Amino acid sequence: MKTEEHALNGLRCPSCARLVQEEVSKLDGVENVVVDLGTQKLLLVYDEDSFQHAKLEAAIKSAGFDLSR
């Protein structure tokens, strides 16, 4: 298992954070995901063998938000 933290852009309300969390939790290999509205961060625990970072970015974009770079 690997743990990463990512900054997010555009979160404005608890519903936004919940939407991102729900979308990311559906991805293959994701063991746990927590989105913190106050810090605008996503904490992700995943299985390196089955997780794809490209799908993470796509899931966040489909929810209407972006990873901060």
The ranges assigned to domains in the chain are: 2-67
Quick one: which H or E segment has residue 56? helix 53-62
Q: Give the chain's mean pLDDT.
A: 94
Count CB neighbours of 60 within 10 A: 22
Res 68: pLDDT: 81
Report the percent of the chain where pLDDT is more than 90: 90
Res 69: pLDDT: 62
Q: What average pLDDT does this structure show over 26-38?
A: 96
**Does domain 2-67 bear CATH number 1.10.3720.10?**
no
Q: Give 4-19 pLDDT, tens digit per residue.
A: 999 999 899 999 999 9
pTM, entire model: 0.88
Binning the chain into helix, strand and coil, the percentages to the nearest 5 are 30, 35, 35
